[in-house]
Amino acid sequence: MCGIVGYVGGRPALDIVVEGLARLEYRGYDSAGVAVLADGELVTAKRAGKLVNLRNALAEQPPPPGTLGMGHTRWATHGVPNDRNAHPHTDCTGSVAVIHNGIIENFAALRGELEEAGHKLGSDTDTEAVAHLLEDELKAGGDLAAAMRRVCGRLEGAFTLVAMYTGDPDLVVGARRNSPLVVGVGDGENFLASDVAAFIAHTRDAIELGQDQVVELRASGVRVTDFEGRPAEVKEYHVDWDVSAAEKGGYDYFMLKEIAEQPRAVADTLLGRIGTDGRLTLDEMRLSDRALREVDKIIVVACGTSYHAGLIAKYAIEHWAGLPCEVELASEFRYRDAILSPTTLVIAISQSGETMDALMAVRHAREQRAKILGICNVNGSTLPRECDGVLYTHAGPEIAVASTKAFLTQLVAVYLIALYIAQVRGTKWGDEVFAMVQLLERMPEKVDKVLETMEPVRELARSLSGEHCVLFLGRHVGFPVALEGALKLKELAYMHAEGFAAGELKHGPIALIEDGLPVVVVVPPRARDVLHDKIVSNIQEIRARGARTIVIAEEGDASVEPYADTLIRVPAVPTLLQPLVTTVPLQVFACELATAKGHDVDQPRNLAKSVTVE
């Protein structure tokens, strides 16, 4: 959710912090604020709204220069988005400043205790209580790091905290529990952030912070301890993309850039997956062949767009690996009596690796002794550390809130996992697996071909900007694609949109059909002749009732032409791989329609990139 940046070094902290916030604005944009320690004084500035409001305020009244600073972009949970509730928050003395990502669940009790003791709290946030708790701990003795460790012991919930204190003028302290925080290691300077994008222009060397750890950041070095003060082991890593990957590159929106990057992202996800022996190899798997052979059931857990990738995974796993597969919304998974055992494999999908619902589902599965495999895009995030194995999607940074290239690379990842399990279990011969991977390796050029033909889709989207509702229909793997298309339209265009399994049309949804209603239909390949013929019948039914039919069908499929008001062609590919090409027009459609409505495509209202609270 919220974007966090901290800096200590020899350069002007304010410049580096604001630059970092600009790279993290996708994480939270209800308000923004900074704190700088200069000449022994803690100076803060904060404004509601987008980061530009803070920039304007800083231009009108620049704070004194300092080399120690931190900043925050907020996605509101407790308290409405206004100047008063923006971070940083300070204590009664003005000597401690705190920024926070997450939710402190016991803040009401802590606030009551503080107010009873005479503290004056000026905001409606849960975060401000931490500043006052630190104030009390510092009065009791010790440095800021020790005070942070003691305060963290009293907090319940998920949080990343970063604090500064006038009594420790060369120190920034961070703490994390169930919420992302990463260290950037520079030369005579160091960084803290909720995402490496914040400091990628300055260093690509990073340190993963583990669960319940506190980091002390000085220009001279970094020290990490647990909440008890014991030295903690850290994992250093090198970020494999540079600052240019986090820039718009001439596109009006990050989303447009990320849609265009999909052929490269798919290719990168496939890179190096075939060994010298011609067998599929997944270096990050970490689950033995024996363990995979023992699996008798697979459960996929995910949220949002990743959940739709999981629905497609079910088709691939059951078809290729011959194992029963269930797909669960991660937010619901641990609140029912799911049947798990040591022979259950749970696959958790999360672009960020910090999705709280997915992490809690993984922890619940671990308590039940299930095997756990993660699919994630972000090296150094929490999810990979909590799984028995991980498949990184290598999509590069995805800045736009609405997921595009992360979704396509997640599809590639689930295909690879399904084929790998099939290879290990012997449900597919080696040459069959190799042949399918070869087909996958040709998919980047197929996606590129789709992207080259999208101008009619953009024109269509602009023509529908006055509509209030769009329906999406699909069968087989086209059904999750329909769900994804509807989700994109909801996220970006703020329109009512629904995805349905086409076979369910006459079980209720057909009542929604009225004259002129746009209905997008994802047609299966002709190779699935039964499903193909049935969905052509569905198109005829809705068109007979006045719907405006927008049909996505493979090249050469002439049978749909008489019934399509608008026909969108995609390359012919195997059925299970078709979502890689049919999803792309729906991404372009939603992006263009939202743009025509005048919406901010990268930062749709009320949404944040990574949902790090339940």
For the chain, the residue count is: 614
Contact 4, 70 (CB under 8 A): yes
Cβ neighbours of residue 61 closer than 8 Å, sequence gap 6 or more: 45
Cis amide leading into 88 (omega within 30): yes
Strand partners of residue 116? none
- Separation between Cα atoms, residue 400 and residue 253, nearest integer Å: 8
The tokens describing 184, both together, are 């950037």
Q: Which helix (H) or strand (E) holds 238?
A: strand 235-238
**Segments in 341-404 forming alpha helices (H):** 356-367, 382-385
- Separation between Cα atoms, residue 234 and residue 146, nearest integer Å: 19
Query: Mapping DSSP to helix (H, G, I), strand (E, B) and coil, where does residue 21 land?
Result: helix
Residue with structure tokens 């647990």? Answer: 226
Q: Which of 46, 371, 490, 609 is catalytic?
A: 609
| Closest CA relative to residue 558, chosen from 574, 569, 546, 547 | 569
- Separation between Cα atoms, residue 76 and residue 131, nearest integer Å: 18
Q: Active site includes 2?
A: yes
Cβ neighbours of residue 111 closer than 8 Å, sequence gap 6 or more: 121, 128, 129
Environment class of residue 508 by beta-carbon count within 10 Å: exposed (0-12), middle (13-18) or buried (19+)? exposed
Query: Mapping DSSP to helix (H, G, I), strand (E, B) and coil, where does residue 68 land?
Result: strand
Q: Which of 2, 152, 376, 591 is catalytic?
A: 2
SS3 content of the chain, % helix, strand, coil (to 5): 40, 25, 35
- Separation between Cα atoms, residue 410 and residue 278, nearest integer Å: 23
* Active-site annotation, residues: 2, 609
